Amino acid sequence: MKHRKTIKQAAQTIPVCKGRTYELQIDRLGTSSEGVGRYENFTVFVPNALPGENVSVIIEEVKNSYARGRIKQILHESVDRVAPLCELYEECGGCQLQHLSYEAQLRAKRAQVVDALTHIGKLPQIPVMETLRAEEPWNYRNKMQFPIGRNIGKIVIGCFAQGSHRIINTENCHIQRAENNDLANAAREIAEQLHIPVYNEDTHKGVLRHIVGRVGRSNDLMAVIVTATKQLPRAKDFVRMMRERLPNLVSVHQNIQTYRNNVIMGRDTQLLWGRPTIIDSLGRLNFHISPRSFFQVNTRQAERLYEQALAYADLHGTETVIDAYCGTGTITLFLAQKARKVYGIEIVQPAILDARKNARDNHVKNAEFIVGDATAVMPALYKQGIRPDVVVVDPPRAGCTETVLRTFANMKPQRIVYVSCNPATLARDLAILKGLGYLAQEVQPVDLFPQTSHVENVCLLKKQK
């Protein structure tokens, strides 16, 4: 009974009610780039609101520790607010920051990193550099993954609306390369003309699920038609019509995804026409890109990211380096240009096969790629007498487990270079590494995804004496 009373008392302290309007001062941006304000010291998240703005907000959701609302009126507008370039911006969930000037986006992304280090890692003393800007903050994405659906009887292809699976028909996505937009528009017209059934995720019936596009540096275009069935009706006509409409098209695949889930691509891919891969480049290195290969979506900024990682590694030609999450070997091959020997470790076997092929194609002979979990492979290398001078790690958004971090520390490298796509897990892991004797020297944010809330970071850690 006492417990119920406590809950009731806590609920009574919430100062906002659903459906009512309140005036807020927005203090900062949240991790998803929503505005964050407080009403009587109670946190309220407001999409599309900016720091420094006074806004009138209608509360739409109330939880025990926070609420969410939508802007009813902007009472005082930020000097950094700009008109979004995209006419679909208010509906679409693909971008979050088009209403914020690019200079302010760069400041906000640095602030996101500082906030994570301060409040999650308890490491406010780590220097955070100014965010490395993109020379081209528009039309940078070399990879497109658009769902296919129907709306009022017509085929639609584009981004999902914010927080839903409703597809916004997108003819000109301003962060996609032009070739990908051309592909999406051609696929929509052809599917309509050929009367190919579109997949319905509620009934699990239909054929076409997604259209995936990949563009190389030389503007070569790969198309991947993702289907819910093993057969693509009128496949030859589909390919012929795409070739007629898309002069840069060099490769057409069908990917089969029969499962009832939100995973975009399945395991089986068939080449319908053209080359099996397209080629992209990072610096002096060329990479074969297949339909399921991992490759950074912003090629120019990926180069800057890897160049920063290489600078932090501080290689002089005598060092041994371990790349603990090597993927298809992009960072590994960058490091191999200046190291004596580099070991790339990756648990996904197809990625290692791609990495070995990339090494052969680029005539890199001082890189060795190993399939396995870093927590098992690295101790085995240590037992063989391998002593890395530098460990490089580029984990997924979830970051590293403490076991993995201890494995790094046990190898006793002089430097650890941590590449991260998530400031929160980076801050957490840097705090753990500090306890293991590795102190972060500085963090360099890099803007790989302009107009969105995401920020990549490179951090240098040194072994403490």
User: Exposure of 354 by Cβ count < 10 A (0-12 exposed, 13-18 middle, 19+ buried)?
Assistant: buried
Contact indicator for 198, 148 with CB cutoff of 8 Å = yes
Beta-strand (E) ranges in 99-234? Answer: 143-151, 154-160, 167-169, 208-215, 221-227
Question: What is the spatial distance between Cα 157 and Cα 160, in angstroms, rounded to a whole number?
Answer: 9
Give exposure, 294-304, as e/b (b: 16+ Cβ within 10 Å).
Answer: ebbbbbbbbbb
193: its two tokens: 């003309």
**421: annotated active-site residue:** yes
Nearest C-alpha neighbor of 23 from the set 39, 11, 7, 10:
39
Catalytic residue among 92, 326, 421, 459: 421
State the binding site for S-adenosyl-L-methionine.
296, 325, 346, 394
Coarse DSSP helix, strand, coil percentages of the chain, rounded to the nearest 5 percent: 25, 30, 40
What's the number of CA atoms in the CB half-sphere (13 Å) around residue 253?
Answer: 27
DSSP string, 293-317: ----S-HHHHHHHHHHHHHHHT--S
Amino acid at 28: R
Nearest C-alpha neighbor of 350 from the set 322, 323, 329:
329
Beta-strand (E) ranges in 8-65? Answer: 21-29, 35-39, 42-46, 54-62
Question: What is the spatial distance between Cα 371 and Cα 105, in angstroms, rounded to a whole number?
Answer: 39
User: Exposure of 462 by Cβ count < 10 A (0-12 exposed, 13-18 middle, 19+ buried)?
Assistant: middle
Contact indicator for 242, 271 with CB cutoff of 8 Å = no
Question: What is the spatial distance between Cα 152 and Cα 366, in angstroms, rounded to a whole number?
Answer: 57
Residues with Cβ < 8 Å from 11, sequence gap 6 or more?
64
Residues with Cβ < 8 Å from 278, sequence gap 6 or more?
214, 215, 216, 220, 221, 222, 250, 251, 288, 289
Name the residues annotated as catalytic.
421
